[in-house]
Structure 1
C-alpha cells in the first residue's frame, strides 16, 4: 500500500493527528481557549488580509473570463476533455459544496437577522433584507474565486509544464529548486505537510457541520435519542459509504454520485418552491440578487473597523478563511478533472454556475424558512441559539408537507453531498501522497481507503470536545479551527502563485504560451499581430517610389 507513497509525509500526518486528539483528550478546555484566542486575533487584526485576498481573487476570475488569459487550455491546444460538461460541472460543484450549502442555506439568514451587518437593528426589515443577500455574497462569485485561481495555477503547472505530480513540492520547483539540496527538499516537504493537514481541516469542517444535522433528523424520524453513540454511528456509517465510493474510479465513483445528487437536489428545490410562499420566495430572490450587485464592493471591503459589531469577524472572515484552508483540496480537484478545458470554461463553471447553484439553495431553503417565520408564525431565528443549526433545520423541515418524507429526502441530500466531498478529498489526498503516477493514473485503492478511514479522526475529535464540554458551541469551535488552519495554507498559496507567475512570464517571453492556445487565438499573445480576419482584408502597403 505504501510502496508508491510518500512515507515521511504520511508519518508526519499521523503524528500531527495523534497530537491533536491527545490534546483534546487531555485538556479540552485549554484547546478550546487557545483556538478562540487565536481565532479572535486572526479575524480582527488580520481581517484586512482576508478581505483583500477575496477582492484580488475576484478580479483575477474576471480577467480569466474576459481577457486573453481565458484562451489557455489545460494540457495544450489539442487536449480534449475527459468528462461530459454536465458531469464535470456537477463533480466540481459537489466536491466543494458538500453539505454546507444545504445547512447554511437553510439557517444562515437566522444568524444575520439576530446580528445584522452595518449596525442595523436586529429583527428589522433591513436586517431581513440583508440576511438573504449576505448569504448569497458569502457563497457567491468571490467565494468560488478562492478555488478557481489556485486551480488554474496548479493545472497549468501540472498539465502544460509537466510537473512531476500535483504535490506542492513538485509544483513549486521553479521557486524552491529542483530538490537536489537539503534546503530545497526540506522546503518541499514542509509545503506538502501543510497541504495534507489542510485536507484534514477541510474534512473536519465538512463532516463536523453535516453529521449533527443527520443525527437530528434520524432522531426525529425514528424516535431515537440523539446521543453521542448515534452521532458516532452516523460518522462511521457515512465514512464507510464514502470509503467504498472512493475505491471506485473517479468517473464511476464521483461522477455517478454527483449526477444523482444534483438531480435530486433540483427536484427537492422545486418541491420547496411549490410548497412555500412562491411569490415571496421569487421576489426576495430577485431583490437579494440586486442587493448583491449594488453592495458588492461595500461587502467586499467591509472590515467593520469602526462599528466592531462582530458580524464581519464571525462570518465574512470565517468564510474567506475557510475557503483559504480548503483551497488546495478544491483546486487540486479542479486541476485533475479539467484537462482539455480552457481557463475561460473553468472560470465560468466555477464562478458562474457554482454560485448560481448556491443561490438556488438560498433562494429555496432560506427563503422558504424566512417565509414561514414572517407569515406563518414559525419563530425559528429566535430559537437558533438554543437549538443550534441542526435543531433549526429540523424546525423548518417540520413545516413542509409530508414532513417525515421531506426530512428523509433532505437527509439523503446531506449524506450524498458529504459523501461526494469526502470522496473527492480521499481521492485527491491519495493522488497527492502517491509517487510515480502518470497524468491519467489513479492511486492505489488501498492508499485511498487508508486516507478515508483516517478522515474519521477529526470529526470524532469534535464529538469528544462536545462531550467533554457541556454546552459547547460546536459551530463556533469549528469556525475557530478552520480559521487557524488557514494561516499556514495562505503562505503555501503565495508560494504557488509566485511559482506560477515565474513560469507563465517565461512562457510569454519565449512564445511557449501559444502552445496552450488554439491557432485562431494565438495572435492575441503576439504584441504586434492583428486578428487573422483583419490581416486578410488589410490593404497592401504602398511600394516606395523609385
Structure 2
C-alpha cells in the first residue's frame, strides 16, 4: 500500500521535497543561496543567451504556422464540444493570469529605465533613447510571451481534450515515450514543470509585494523594512488561498473580470487626464517600429556593443515567460476546451497583446512625455527604485491619491488571481492532471509559492527574483522545444 501511494504521489512528493529543501537552505544560509544562484544565473546568461532568443522566435513561428495550416480547424476537444466559457470571461482569465502584476510593475518603469540607461550605442536621455525604449517595451511585452504560453497550452489541451489523456505536460510526450509517460521520464517532465511554475510565479509575487509596499510607503509613509513586504505577502496569501479553494468558477473568473474592468478604468483615466494626442502618436510610432523590426529584435543580442543590456533585459524576459509557461499554459488549456487551434492561437496572440501594447503606450508614453517635455525626474526615480516609479508618475495627475489607491488594489487582485491560478495548476500537476484537486495540496502549494517569494526577497530582493526566474526556466525551455516536436507528431496523425 505504501509503495502504491509513493508511485501515485511521486510528482507531488518529489517536487514538494525539492521546494522544501530550497526553502530550508534559503532560511539557513541566505547568503550562500544568493551567491550560488547568482553564479549559475550568470553562467546561463553568458553561455545560452542566444538559445533563449532563437527558442522564443521559433515558438512564435511554430504556433503561427499551426494556426494557418490545415490543422487550424482541429478542435481542442471532441468535434462536438462547445467552449466552456464565454468569450469575455475566457479573454479576461487569459490576460489576468498571463500578465497581471507585470503591467503595473513595468508599465511606467521599463520605458523610463531604457530611456535613461540604453545600450552604449544609444545616447541616454535623448529622443532616440525614448523611441528605443518604447520599441523594446512593446517587444518585451508583445506577441512573443503569448507564443511561449501557447506552446504549452496547445499541447496540453490537444492531448488531454482530444486524445483523452491526463491534463499533464508529460501526456504531450506520448508520441515518443508511449506508456513511458507514466514512468520516471514522464514524472520528471512534470517535476520540471512544477519547479519552473513555483519559481516563475514566486518572482511575480515578489514584484507585486515590492510594488504594493512602495505604494503604501509613498502614500502613507509606512516603514520600508523588508518585514512589511513579508507581511503583505502573508495577507495576500490568505486572500488567494481562499480564492483557490473556491475554484475557477467562483474564484479566478469573477476576480479576473472585475480586475479587467478596474484596469481599463485606470487606463482610461490616465489617457483622459494626460496628453491623449501625444500618447496616440507614441502608440502608432512604437507599433510601427516594433512590427517593422520584429525579426531583428527577436534575434538581436548586440554582441559587439550592448550584450549585457540584451542579456539583462530581453533574455531575462524570455526566461521569465518560459518559467511562467507551465502554469499559464496549463491554465489556458484548462479554460480553452472547445476552441479550434486557429481560434486559440489567434486570440491568445492578439487580444491580450493589443491590450498590453496600449497599456505601455499610455503609461510609458505619458511618463516619457513628463520626462521630456515637463522636466519631471521620473527616470531617475525608476533607475533608483523601479517599484516606486508608478506612484511617482501618478503624482503628476489630478486625484493622485485616488489613482494610487486604485493601482494598489489592482495590484493586489492581480497578485491573488496569478497566485490562485498557479496554486490550482500546481495542485493539478501533482494530482495526475485531475481537475478535482485536494484542498491540502492547494494549501501546500499556496504556502510554498509565498514562502519561496519571501526567501528570495530576503536573500537578494529584486536581483534574486530575476536570477531564479532565469535559472528555473532553462531546463523547461528544452522541454518546450521537445513539446513542439511531439505536438507536430500528434497533429500529423489527424485525418484533416
Native 8 Å contact 2:104 2:390 kept in 1: no
Match of 2:367 in 1: 369
Q: Any conservation in 2 of the 1:249–1:442 contact (CA below 8 Å)?
A: no
1:463 and 2:465 correspond: no
Matched-pair contact (CA < 8 Å) for 2:147–2:349 = yes
Write the mapping of 1:482-497 to structure 2, written as runs, cut at 5 A: 482-497=469-484
Alpha-carbon distance in structure 2 between the residues aligned to 1:169 and 1:149: 14
Q: Does 1:478 find its partner at 2:478?
A: no
Counterpart Cα distance in 1 of 2:380 and 2:225 = 25
CA displacement at 1:372 relative to structure 2: 1.5
Question: What does 1:271-290 align with in structure 2 at a 5 Å threshold?
Answer: 271-290=269-288
SS at match of 1:116: coil
Q: Report the equivalent of 1:157.
A: 159
Map 1:30-109 to 2 at 5 A. Answer: 30-109=32-111
Q: Secondary structure at the match of 2:264?
A: helix
Q: Which moved more, 1:211-220 or 1:167-176?
A: 167-176
1:453 and 2:447 matched? yes
Q: 1:25 to 1:444 in 2, by over 3 A?
A: closer
SS in 2 for 1:178: helix
1:321-400 aligned at under 5 Å gives the runs: 321-386=319-384, 388-400=385-397
DSSP 3-state at the match of 2:183: helix
Task: State the structure with more CA Rg.
Answer: 1
Are 2:178 and 1:177 equivalent residues in the alignment?
yes
Change (3 A) 1:169 1:258: same
CA distance in 1 between partners of 2:397 and 2:15 (Å)? 44
1:3 Cα deviation after fit = 8.2
Aligned-pair distance for 1:185? Answer: 1.5
> For 1:240, which of 229, 238, 241 is the aligned residue?
238
1:408 paired to 2:405: yes
For residue 389 of structure 1, give the secondary structure of its aligned residue in structure 2. Answer: coil
Where does residue 419 of structure 2 map in the other structure? 422
- SS of structure 1 residue aligned to 2:246: coil
Is the Cα contact below 8 Å between 2:150 and 2:345 reproduced in 1?
yes
- Aligned mates of 2:288, 2:433 — CA distance in 1: 50
Name the CA shift for 1:405/1:319 in 2 (closer, same or farther; >3 Å). Answer: same
Structural mapping, 1:113-128, within 5 Å: 113-117=115-119, 119-128=121-130
Give the Cα–Cα distance (whole angstroms) in 1 for the partners of residues 442 and 272 of structure 2: 42
TM-score, normalised via structure 1 length = 0.86
Deviations 1:336-366 (A, max 9, x none): 1100001111112211001111112101221
Say if 1:283 and 1:365 are closer, same or farther in 2 by CA, change over 3 A.
same
Distance in structure 2 (CA, Å) of the matches to 1:62 and 1:118: 34
**Is contact 1:36–1:477 with CA below 8 Å preserved after alignment?**
yes
Q: Which moved further from structure 2: 234-243 or 363-372?
A: 363-372
Q: CA deviation at 1:457?
A: 1.2
Cα distance change of structure 1 residues 91 and 436 upon mapping to structure 2, 3 Å threshold: closer
Report if aligned partners of 2:50, 2:301 keep a CA contact under 8 Å in 1.
Answer: yes
Deviations 1:423-471, CA, capped at 9 Å, x for gaps: 111111111111483xxx43233432332122221111023214xxxxx
Q: 1:436 to 1:312 in 2, by over 3 A?
A: closer
Deviation at 1:404, TM superposition (A): 1.3
Matched residue SS, 1:166 = coil
Distance in 1 separating the partners of 2:170 and 2:287: 41
The Cα shift of 1:23 comes to 2.8
Deviations 1:137-188 (A, max 9, x none): 111112210011221111111111111x1223333233223149xxx62212
Distance 1:114 1:39, change over 3 A: farther
Question: What TM-score results when the alignment is normalised by the length of structure 2?
Answer: 0.94
| Alpha-carbon offset, residue 5 of structure 1 | 10
Asked if the contact 1:119–1:309 (Cα under 8 Å) also holds between the matched residues in 2, the reply is no
Kindly state the Cα deviation for residue 285 of structure 1 after the two structures are TM-superposed.
1.0
Aligned to 2:489: 502
Distance 1:4 1:328 in 2: 24
2:270/2:362 contact within 8 Å kept: yes
Q: What whole-Å deviation, never above 9, does each CA across 1:370-392 have from its counterpart, x for those lacking one?
A: 12212222112123332x11222
SS of equivalent residue, structure 2 residue 179:
coil
Structure 2, unaligned runs of 5 or more? none
Output one character per residue of 1:251-276: Cα deviation in whole Å (capped at 9) or x when no partner: 22111111111111111100001111
User: What are the superposed Cα offsets for residues 380-421 of structure 1, whole Å, 9 maximum, x if unpaired?
Assistant: 2123332x1122222112222111111100001111111111
Match in the other structure for 2:169:
168
Residue matched to 1:471 = none
Aligned-residue RMSD, C-alpha: 2.1
CA gap of 1:372–1:308, structure 2 versus 1, over 3 A, is closer
Q: Do the aligned partners of 2:381 and 2:392 also contact (CA within 8 Å) in 1?
A: no
Give the conservation status (yes or no) of the 8 Å contact 2:153–2:333: yes
Deviations 1:51-96 (A, max 9, x none): 1112111112322333322211111221100100000011011111
Q: For the residues of structure 1 that align with 2:275 and 2:46, how far apart are their CA atoms?
A: 39
Kept in 1: contact 2:119–2:305 (CA 8 A): no
Q: Distance in 2 between matches of 1:141 and 1:340?
A: 23
- Between the aligned partners of 1:436 and 1:274, the Cα distance in structure 2 is 46
